[in-house]
């Protein structure tokens, strides 16, 4: 029995060597297999590539859709007749994308022009090209558009005649009557001071509107102050119109000039209770002065209401 035991141990040992050899060979195969598989894309790489392709496809479709939408819009540049402008299509496309942006274009001579949004293509071509053909196209465009505007005006006029029961559009006569109506001015608390110079022709025209204003609102306090000492001119231009006022003394003129009055006429509109003042520079029509007085009336009332609520 003792002689058989070593043989069994030997076989076991040989078995172990065979196992190691098999394991070594198998390991080599596994390593080789891993090395071979590593040349193929991993699942993560394939997903990333698929996502990139999908995004690219979406982007291409968006660009294609945008191109289709832009193609539906009218051309801003007449590229068909402006062959000399090499990048005409690009500028035209950018103008369509940004319709509210001005266009900066250089003509064939290298001179730069800026065109505001809404400039007709025919006028742009004429300005850039300066050719008889471009001029003819511009004239044709203006003739066609003028005809369309005239036709629209005629249709509008007929519609006005046919619709007699309009609620807010009452025609020229009604508008003139509304303009002639007295405004709800706070004549009790408003004070108007007008500074003039006797040799100022604009002042003389302005005093004509002031005369009408005083006759429409007799209780409105209006005073005219002349800065130079020309008695005859004051009587002729102020007194003869039924306006009240006086000639300022040299010291008063200096004080007035210190407050910024250097040109004429200048009008101060004061609301006495609220001590608000608005300055009107230059000549104004009767309607314009009335509107400013009405605005001061409402502003002063709003101030008084706000104070009363506190």
14: which 2 tokens? 């040989």
How many degrees, rounded to 5, is the angle at CA 48 between CA 45 and CA 53?
125
pLDDT confidence of 63, banded at 50, 70, 90? confident
Q: How many residues appear in the chain?
A: 310
**Residue 294: pLDDT over 90:** yes
Instruction: Give the confidence band of 68 by pLDDT, cuts at 50, 70, 90.
Output: confident
Burial class, 81, CB count within 10 angstroms (exposed 0-12 / middle 13-18 / buried 19+): middle
**Assigned CATH class of 184-309:** alpha beta
- Tell me the DSSP string of 88-148: HHHHHHHHHH-TTS-EEEE-TTS-EEEE-TT--HHHHHHHHH--HHHHHHHHHHHHHHHHH
At 36, the pLDDT band (50, 70, 90 cuts) reads very low
DSSP letters, the chain, are -TTTHHHHHHHHHHHHHHHHHHHHHHHHHHHHHHHHHTTSPPHHHHHHHHHHHHHHHHHHHHHHHHHHHHHHSPPSS-GGG-TT-TTHHHHHHHHHH-TTS-EEEE-TTS-EEEE-TT--HHHHHHHHH--HHHHHHHHHHHHHHHHHHHHHHHHHHHHHHH----SS--HHHHHHHHHHSPP---TTTEEEEEEE-TT-HHHHHHHHHHHHHHHH-TTSEEEEEESS--HHHHHHHTGGGT-EEEEPPHHHHHHHHHTT--SS-EEEEEETTTTEEEEEES---HHHHHHHHHHHHHHHHHHHHHHHH-
pLDDT tens column, 266-275: 999 999 999 9
What pLDDT does 38 receive? 53
The stretch 66-79 carries a mean pLDDT of 87
Query: Who wins on pLDDT, 52 or 144?
Result: 144
Average pLDDT, the chain: 85
Is the pLDDT at 13 greater than 50? The verdict is no
Residue ranges of the chain assigned to CATH 3.40.30.10: 184-309
The answer on pLDDT for 84 being more than 50 is: yes
Which pLDDT score, from 0 to 100, does residue 57 have?
A: 87
The yes-or-no verdict on residue 16 having pLDDT over 70 is: no
More confident residue, 40 or 251: 251
pLDDT at 261: 87
Residue 33: per-residue pLDDT: 45
pLDDT at residue number 69 = 86
């Amino acid at each position: 029995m003792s002689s058989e035991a070593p043989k069994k141990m030997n076989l076991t040992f040989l078995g172990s060597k065979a196992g190691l050899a098999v394991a070594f060979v198998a390991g080599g195969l596994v390593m080789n297999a891993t090395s071979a598989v590593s040349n193929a894309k991993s699942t993560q790489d394939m997903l990333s590539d698929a996502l990139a392709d999908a995004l690219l496809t979406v982007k291409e479709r968006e660009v294609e859709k945008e191109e289709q939408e832009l193609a539906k819009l009218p051309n801003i540049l007449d590229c068909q007749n402006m062959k000399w402008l090499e990048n005409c299509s690009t500028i035209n496309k950018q103008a369509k994308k940004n319709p509210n942006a001005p266009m900066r274009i250089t003509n064939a001579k290298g001179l730069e022009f800026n065109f505001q949004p809404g400039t007709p293509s025919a006028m742009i071509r004429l300005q850039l090209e300066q050719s008889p053909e471009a001029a003819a196209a511009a004239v044709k465009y203006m003739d066609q558009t003028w005809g369309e505007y005239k036709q629209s005006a005629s249709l509008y006029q007929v519609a006005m005649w046919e619709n007699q029961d309009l609620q807010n559009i009452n025609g020229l006569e009604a508008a003139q009557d509304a303009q002639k109506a007295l405004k709800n001015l706070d004549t009790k608390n408003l004070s108007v001071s007008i500074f003039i110079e006797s040799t100022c022709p604009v002042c003389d025209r302005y005093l004509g509107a002031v005369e009408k204003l005083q006759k429409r609102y007799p209780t409105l306090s209006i005073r005219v102050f002349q800065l130079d000492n020309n008695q005859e001119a004051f009587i002729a231009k102020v007194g003869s119109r039924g306006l009240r006022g006086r000639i300022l003394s040299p010291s008063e003129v200096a004080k007035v000039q210190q407050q910024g009055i250097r040109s004429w006429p200048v009008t101060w509109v004061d609301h006495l209770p609220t001590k608000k003042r608005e300055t009107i520079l230059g000549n104004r029509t009767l309607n314009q002065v009335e509107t400013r007085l009405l605005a001061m009336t409402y502003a002063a009332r709003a101030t008084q209401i706000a104070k009363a609520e506190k």
